[in-house]
């Protein structure tokens, strides 16, 4: 892959839209959209702040039982990088008023399939905010 194949403007635009759609679905507990945005495959993985989920079915089950309380958050330092036209990585930091002194970190690997952009791997973790 050459440097000219990284961050095609049209791909970044699509990914910003997909990422914003995910964020809206997450903070409003729109489980249908969240389920749609994860690739329906046994190899899809989501490491959460308190859970390790292997496969789409486990991810969907987690979403179905998750509390809808305190989901709002503020994002910072969001970076989206595309590799070619069909793979992208979205990384962001987040804070929640319900968790003072903590900072969350989220990374997602997205792949373009026939049905659109889907998350194939995700990682969420929370650490103490730097002093």
Specify the CATH number for 3-128; select among 2.60.40.10, 3.10.450.50, 3.20.20.60, 3.40.605.10.
3.10.450.50
**Burial class (CB within 10 angstroms; exposed 0-12, middle 13-18, buried 19+) of 4:** exposed
The confidence score (pLDDT) of residue 55 equals 98
- Is the pLDDT assigned to residue 94 strictly greater than 90? yes
For 87, list phi and psi in degrees, rounded to 5. -135, 140
Question: What are the residues facing 93 on neighbouring strands?
Answer: 76, 105
The confidence score (pLDDT) of residue 122 equals 98
> For the whole model, what pTM was predicted?
0.94
Please identify which residue in the block is written with the tokens 């839209």: 17
pLDDT averaged over every residue in the chain: 95
Is residue 21 very low, low, confident or very high in pLDDT (cuts 50, 70, 90)? very high
The confidence score (pLDDT) of residue 1 equals 74
Listing DSSP states for 38-58 in one string gives: B--STT-EEE-SS-EEESHHH
CA separation for the pair 32, 60 (Å, rounded): 9
Average pLDDT over residues 78-98: 97
- The continuous run of DSSP H or E covering 35 comes out as helix 31-37
Is residue 3 very low, low, confident or very high in pLDDT (cuts 50, 70, 90)? confident
CA separation for the pair 33, 67 (Å, rounded): 16
């Amino acid at each position: 892959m050459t440097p000219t194949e990284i961050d095609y403007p049209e791909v970044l635009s699509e990914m910003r839209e997909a990422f914003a759609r995910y964020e809206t679905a997450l903070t409003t507990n729109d489980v249908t959209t969240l389920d749609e945005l994860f690739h329906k495959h046994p190899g899809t993985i989501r490491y959460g702040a308190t859970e390790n989920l292997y496969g789409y079915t486990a991810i969907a089950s987690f979403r179905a039982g998750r509390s809808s309380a305190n989901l709002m958050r503020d994002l910072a330092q969001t970076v989206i990088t595309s590799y070619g036209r069909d793979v992208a990585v979205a990384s962001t930091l987040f804070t929640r008023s319900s968790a003072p002194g903590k900072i969350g970190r989220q990374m997602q690997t997205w792949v373009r399939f026939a049905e659109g952009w889907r998350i194939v791997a995700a990682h969420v973790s929370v650490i103490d905010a730097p002093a």
